[in-house]
Structure 1
Amino acid sequence: MPSLENVEVDFITPRHLAGGGDPAWITVPLHRACGWSHGDDPLMPRVLLSSPDQKALLRLEPDPDDQWWTLQYAAEPAWYASFGARTPVELIAAFTDAFTDPAPAADAPCDPYGALRQVGWTPDGDNGLASPDKTVHVERLGTPADPGAWFVTVTLGTHQKVWQARFGAHTPPYLVAAFTAALADPTPIHRIDSGRSLPTLDPDVVTRQFVEIPVVYVAGALEGRVRSLAARHTGAPPVPPALRQPPPRHDRSR
């Protein structure tokens, strides 16, 4: 059992099956580090965040029949991105971090398939790729002359859809590439009390490594993320990311 000073953290791979996670990982940095404003309607189970220029609106709204996260961009050309409830917040954050970066790198990858091919994804259909374990499929609808929306779909078995991400046809490619790069990243995602949130506990599908971590370290991860994103606007050195890899001791796998 963990001590009062420690908490048991579950490091999970593959990351696309880690469950949704804490929405604050996205909403708090957008508000505190990127200047997005939010409304206050405590009677509604939703979050609305608007970008400083009022061109982008992020909506988080529980909907058992549709996407839970939707980001709409109203400038020309307009586009949208949406994510299912079980989309790991770390993957969504890769997208929102790239979108809010005040000075995106000139050499940022723009091929959404690039990072996937580098880790062994294979062709799937006319214009798609499938993960090595066949649980994730990424495809773009349309034709080369008239490309359409992007779809990232995670499934278990034949018909059990776990989550889906959708990107409108005019979504900037570098933003979709930021999402797929996070999807391809082999780094485990950490969760606390993950047994209730994982889409499957099958050890043949997911690997779980339990590690005792100091509570103060876990609690500081979000604060460190906020400082790191805020530093992009001030030119201060970025804060190293926390909890990206499990420590090499006091661990056990399941």
Structure 2
Amino acid sequence: MKKTWTGWGPTADQPEQHYLIEPRHLAGGGDIRYVTEYLRASGWTDRSYKGGQPVVFDSPDRTVRIGYDPHAMPGGWTVSGQATGEHQPAWHATLTTAVPVEVVAGLTDALTKPRSAHAPNPWAPLEEHGWETERGQHFTAVSPDRNAWLQYHQNEAGKAHWWAGARTEHGRAWDAVFTPTTPMHLIETFSAALADPQPVMRPRGHVPTSKWIRTTSVSVRPSELGAWQQARITAARAATWARHSWASTRPRIRKPASGARPDAAVGGARARR
């Protein structure tokens, strides 16, 4: 029997002070369960060490591993994909601890879903939300506040990588680096989450100290937080169930016997009506 997610607030359902923070790229890391509980609900295997650190999740087909270790150097998220087929070599991504979990989820949520049929364009979500693109040695998109970026970085040796980051008045806030072999649709879903203008919520005591963020104080009950998280988990479970259900019930096309016309089986079926 699956347990219902109850959130991570105290048992007494009293309103607590939280803050809506914008821009989201300066909101700080947030609670990693936003990412990990979605993976669990999507059928990923939890292989985390005793005590829960470091966190390790494997995809159902064991081709992708997601880890989180705040004590490593530099610490944060690692996402590694094995080579699959002739057209997808192995790939790797690292995201430091202060990358907002809502942005991390832009990458990790996409790994639990079928790939879209449309041709991916990582720059499109950024341009849609007012990010400026700069063409030079490196192709770069910069946020409207000039404090976050996504760059396709090419050095003199001919090597390349994707690099995203953000800064505050105190210096670099976080970095995310993707190998050039990272599937392009994952860079796009990451950039869409990064450019999303919607604020993100953080509890009191977890708001970064920066004059470059805007905060709105809100009172939220733990039951409301739990309900929001449960809705996200329920959506993941429903999508996973739907995929498995379709895979197990889709009709199988029987190949015609050797030498038979392709329409022979169809014609025979019509004759028997």
Instruction: Output the TM-score relative to the length of structure 2.
Output: 0.75
Aligned match of 1:52 in 45, 60, 84? 60
Q: Secondary structure at the match of 1:235?
A: helix
Question: What residue in structure 1 maps to residue 162 of structure 2?
Answer: 150
Give the deviation of 1:156 after TM superposition.
2.0
Give the deviation of 1:149 after TM superposition.
1.4
Cα distance in structure 1, aligned partners of 2:230 and 2:51: 27
Q: Secondary structure at the match of 1:12?
A: strand
Question: What residue in structure 2 maps to residue 12 of structure 1?
Answer: 21
Cα distance in structure 1, aligned partners of 2:207 and 2:76: 16
Q: 1:62 to 1:182 in 2, by over 3 A?
A: same
Q: Is the 8 A contact 2:15 2:222 kept in 1?
A: yes
Q: Secondary structure at the match of 1:216?
A: helix
Cα distance in structure 2, aligned partners of 1:113 and 1:210: 32
Cα distance in structure 1, aligned partners of 2:220 and 2:177: 35
Q: Is the 8 A contact 1:124 1:137 kept in 2?
A: no
Question: What residue in structure 2 maps to residue 226 of structure 1?
Answer: 233
Give the deviation of 1:63 after TM superposition.
3.6
Give the deviation of 1:138 after TM superposition.
1.2
**Percent of counterpart pairs with the same letter?**
29
2:69 paired with 1:61: yes
Q: How many pairs align? A: 224
Q: 1:97 to 1:185 in 2, by over 3 A?
A: same
Give the deviation of 1:36 after TM superposition.
1.4
Give the deviation of 1:120 after TM superposition.
1.8
Give the deviation of 1:220 after TM superposition.
2.1
Q: Deviations over 1:59-114 (max 9, x none)?
A: 1111464141001001241001211100000111111111110x33323x611111
Instruction: Specify every segment of 5 or more residues in structure 2 that has no aligned partner in the other structure, as ranges.
Output: 1-11, 244-273
Q: Is the 8 A contact 1:138 1:152 kept in 2?
A: yes
Cα RMSD (Å): 2.3
Give the deviation of 1:43 after TM superposition.
5.9
Q: Which amino acid aligns with 1:34?
A: S
Question: What residue in structure 2 maps to residue 41 of structure 1?
Answer: 49
Q: Deviations over 1:206-233 (max 9, x none)?
A: 1101111232111222221111111112
